[in-house]
Amino acid sequence: MGGFASDNNAGIHPNIMKAIAEANSGHCIGYGDDTYTESALQKMKEVFGPQSEIFFVLTGTAANVLGIRAFLKPYQSVLCASSSHLNVDECGAPENIAGCKLMEIPSENGKLCAESLKPFLEVVGNEHHAQPAAVSITQSTELGTVYTVEEIAALSAFAHNHNMILHMDGARISNAAAHLGIRFRDITFEAGVDLLSFGGTKNGMMIGEAVIIFNQGWAENFKYIRKQGMQLLSKMRFISAQFAAFFNGDLWLKNAKHANYMAKLLSDGIRDIPECRITQKVEANAVFVKLPPHSIDELRKRYFFYTWDAGNHIIRLMTSFDTTENDVTGLLRTLKESIENAG
């Protein structure tokens, strides 16, 4: 079965597999006090800037939830898109583990803008209501769209003007950076992001996410939050070695560019089919497409993918670092055949 279900259905990039194997030599002090970790963190500090404090964790949920936990007090709330992973796909962990209330904001394309945040500030200072303390955005969004630097900067300015931090869920930040053609630093610290969940797993790693804190005052306590948050791996070197390989020679960029290009090929092909309609801008590695219902059934016989909006017959197709042109042309062929057969 061909795979367009998710970029996390892909395996491990060979360079990263090799790095794991090479780190498997002799004994190392556990929990990150090793040279592999030191080296990976140093490399990432170069990438994200000297003010960044970086902590490896094991899942994207943990990066999001523990990062927010570090910054928020128990009575504070997070403003986020209704469609955000934080709101939809964490099984209530932000509420239960970080302890905060999420204020969900409807958004057509998965993005927030300052205007949509304003009504949530009316409760500031009123003890009957959870107090807004963070804005959380996803880059690239759950709908495959990408915030520009200007959009991020506008949100961070708004957040900071109202005593909130800006959190970025960067599970797919590599795809966003590849799309924009700029450095991670430009869409994070330089644009005013305070807290970043940096994702490695969806772009070729086996396991590995990072919480990156750009405001050092908040970072000093994170090591305790990580440990208490059940995310401190004893054999840390094997996470660190993956991150080192991920950044070595800009592997992350090659992987993300490839995945994005596959999404472009896929969406270009779909646009040629009049019966289909692309419903979101294709800026990263996701393609949202409205199909004739019977085509969805036909595609599902040969491909894994998720239905996004059953009522409107919209499916999500994700590409990844290992998607091939053959995979794309195969899916397009199946799709066309399904339409011709129905005709």
45-84 residues in contact with a second copy (CB under 8 A) are 58-62, 65-66, 69, 73-77
Q: Which residue in this structure is represented by tokens 């397009």?
A: 332
Q: Which residues touch 225 (CB under 8 Å, ≥6 apart)?
A: 66, 69, 70
Q: Which residues touch 169 (CB under 8 Å, ≥6 apart)?
A: 60, 63, 64, 84, 85, 86, 136, 137, 138, 139, 197
Distance of closest approach, residue 6 Cβ to a second copy, in angstroms: 6
Question: Which one of 52, 107, 131, 267 is in contact with a second copy (CB under 8 A)?
Answer: 131
- Whichever of 29 and 342 has its CB closer to a second copy, that residue is 29
Q: Which residues touch 296 (CB under 8 Å, ≥6 apart)?
A: 307, 313, 315
Element (H, E) at 323: none
Distance of closest approach, residue 166 Cβ to a second copy, in angstroms: 20
329 residue type, one letter: T
User: What are the CA-CA distances from residue 76 to residues 18, 98, 101 (Å)?
Assistant: 44, 10, 7
Q: Are 64 and 94 a contacting pair, CB within 8 Å?
A: yes
Question: Which one of 38, 46, 51, 89 is in contact with a second copy (CB under 8 A)?
Answer: 89
Q: Which residue in this structure is represented by tokens 């592999």?
A: 36
Question: Which one of 35, 51, 96, 163 is in contact with a second copy (CB under 8 A)?
Answer: 96
As a dihedral over the C-alpha atoms of residue 90, residue 94, residue 95, residue 98, rounded to 10 degrees, the angle is 150
- Whichever of 139 and 201 has its CB closer to a second copy, that residue is 201
Chain residues 97-126 in contact with a second copy, contact rule CB under 8 A: 97, 99-102, 104
Question: Which one of 25, 161, 312, 326 is in contact with a second copy (CB under 8 A)?
Answer: 25
Helix crossing, 237-247 with 14-23: angle to 10°?
140
Distance of closest approach, residue 181 Cβ to a second copy, in angstroms: 27
- Whichever of 92 and 343 has its CB closer to a second copy, that residue is 92
End-to-end CA distance of the chain: 26
Residues binding a second copy: number (CB under 8 A): 76
Q: Is there binding between residue 24 and a second copy (CB under 8 A)?
A: yes
Beta partners for residue 322, in sequence order: none
Q: Is there binding between residue 167 and a second copy (CB under 8 A)?
A: no
Q: Is there binding between residue 301 and a second copy (CB under 8 A)?
A: no
Distance of closest approach, residue 47 Cβ to a second copy, in angstroms: 23
Q: Is there binding between residue 12 and a second copy (CB under 8 A)?
A: yes
Q: How far is CA 253 from the centre of its chain?
A: 15
| Segment lying near a second copy (by CB under 8 A), choices 5-13, 186-194, 259-267, 288-296 | 5-13
- Beta strands at 277-278 and 286-290: parallel, antiparallel or unpaired: antiparallel
- Whichever of 285 and 320 has its CB closer to a second copy, that residue is 320
Q: Is there binding between residue 217 and a second copy (CB under 8 A)?
A: no
- Whichever of 301 and 340 has its CB closer to a second copy, that residue is 301
x/- mask, a second copy, residues 315-334, rule CB under 8 A, reads -----x-x------------
Chain residues 221-280 in contact with a second copy, contact rule CB under 8 A: 221, 223-235, 238
Q: Is there binding between residue 91 and a second copy (CB under 8 A)?
A: yes
